[in-house]
Chains A and B, each alone.
Chain A
């Protein structure tokens, strides 16, 4: 896999406030990357810098290995709340967007129609954007971002503002696009990130605190533990006394930190069996992405 985009020490200061503090990452061609972090972490600023809207204070952007501060010709960008000229129809706007992004004039109209069909605005393409609902605007926003078939798609919170149905539909569109192009998108909704992500970038207060594949981050923060629910408190206490591992007892429940001593579930079950302890359930738990998020993005 070749690197499409390399970002090195990218930084944006507003006065003394560091909105984005020296972040470095790479995007491999054809992958999808989620930019995760709480509100105010610098996600929008990062995307705005890549989109050429905001000039970085520092740092370099390499596109296909070449230093290129302005990559506007190669990207499609969808802001969090796309704003359209209310007096232009969806088709007129998408056609203009295509031409301004370098599509030949005579092909632009056909491309615009095709794209609007793809995002599900086929019936509304002759309507003015001023009359569109939030979900339709988001689709139109997606259409203008992909109509020129950009090499890199930058999406700022593409589904956050949508209702569950709209979110599902847009997510399906994004999954289709994922097959064709490289995507960098920001989100604070972890289920979305889980659904279509090769790489995760965690931002906190402008700093890139974690960067890696979904699996590697999972593994790192999984914090596996074995939970045992006993029939009675007495049995739980007996197990605690017998246990060769460090355990935490809480009424009828015992938890064992499985990560530290590499305890396997079968060892635990074997012990339970030989001591004929009555249990309700044994479970190996790993941290959900939600917990990982809290751990990485909020705590120190």
Chain B
């Protein structure tokens, strides 16, 4: 237990001193504030700035506050995921490449705890950033749009959190498994490209981690397919557990690749 504590302490110090603990939440919060503001003022801005031909009256869809949560999630699905991949792709592979891992690996430390320490800290940073971002958005939505029921917001955020935990686990497992570049490429494939594929071909199935974001937005109204939702949640949870064990195994297997 004390070695897990020591490793957690190390991860915390690292993320404070390389500023990830600060800049990632700030980025998520900036997007969280920008989304409701730009959606609220966009029609006005377009009217005053854009040289619309006389009589061409653009009809802007009337956004509800709930829609803003969903469109913010859309931003996080691309920018947020990219930030997660780029910020944490080298978590394990980078330590091997620079050789800083060597002096950890020669100690009677368990690779499970090593992987877990990173998994816990990275998830904490990512989830805190995401929740802060949505809370900031929520505050603006209350002012600029309508108030949204807290129960729905928490169900939405809870579901989306599971997807982000999945994303973090994918990135760390690949980082344990291969080089930083490979981890980045495969993470982009699994988290961004598969999302598009699931969007196009996904009408043929209902249970998939890549549908969690859709199911999360369904919380705000159209709640069809409750069982498919829960099965996707279950499948994602199982995949997370499998990936965690895979990451632990690969971290140990690749220990010899650390620079001596």
Contact = CB atoms under 8 A, between A and B. Distances in A.
A80 B259 CA distance: 11
Given A48-B256, A53-B258, A83-B102, 5 more contacts: A53-B255, A53-B256, A72-B106, A72-B108, A82-B103
Interface residues of B, number: 27
Interface of B: 2-3, 5-7, 9-10, 13-14, 17-18, 98-100, 102-109, 255-256, 258-260
B260 A100 contact: no
Given A72-B106, A97-B103, A85 B14 contact: yes
B259 A83 contact: yes
Interface string A99-110: 111101100000
B230 to A, nearest CB: 41
Given A73-B108, A96-B6, A99-B3, A84 B103 contact: yes
B256 A105 contact: no
A85 B10 contact: yes
A48 B103 CA distance: 12
Contacts of A131: none
A102 B10 contact: no
Contacts of B14: 85, 87
Contacts of A80: 260
A100 B102 contact: no
B204 to A, nearest CB: 44
B107 A100 contact: yes
A44 interface: yes
Contact of A92 (B3, B13, B104, B108): B13
A175 to B, nearest CB: 24
A77 interface: yes
A48 B105 CA distance: 11
A88 B10 contact: yes
A196 to B, nearest CB: 23
24 contacts: A48-B260, A52-B105, A53-B256, A54-B256, A70-B108, A72-B108, A75-B106, A77-B106, A79-B103, A81-B260, A83-B100, A83-B102, A84-B100, A87-B13, A87-B14, A88-B10, A92-B13, A96-B9, A97-B103, A100-B107, A105-B2, A105-B6, A144-B103, A156-B260
Interface in A108-159: 141, 144, 156
Contacts of B3: 99-100
B105 A53 contact: yes
Given A79-B260, A105-B5, A53 B102 contact: yes
A84 B6 CA distance: 16
A234 to B, nearest CB: 61
A53 B7 CA distance: 19
Nearest to A102: B108
Contacts of B105: 52-53
A32 to B, nearest CB: 20
B12 to A, nearest CB: 11
A99 B258 contact: no
B87 to A, nearest CB: 15
Most chain B C-beta atoms within 10 Å of own C-beta, residue among A75, A79, A82, A96: A96
B259 A99 contact: no
A170 interface: no
B98 A83 contact: yes
A51 interface: yes
Nearest to A156: B260
Contacts of A52: 105-106
B6 A53 contact: no
Contacts of A48: 256, 260
Nearest to A154: B106
Contacts of B258: 53
Contacts of A84: 100, 103
Nearest to A51: B106
A156 B103 CA distance: 13
Nearest to A75: B106
A54 B106 CA distance: 10
Given A83-B259, A99-B3, A88 B106 contact: no
Contacts of A156: 260
A53 B106 CA distance: 6
Contacts of B104: 100
Q: Which 8 A-B pairs have the closest CB atoms?
A: A83-B99, A73-B108, A87-B17, A99-B6, A100-B107, A77-B106, A72-B108, A51-B106
Most chain A C-beta atoms within 10 Å of own C-beta, residue among B5, B10, B260: B260
A99 B98 CA distance: 23
Interface in A34-54: 44, 48, 51-54
A52 B107 CA distance: 9
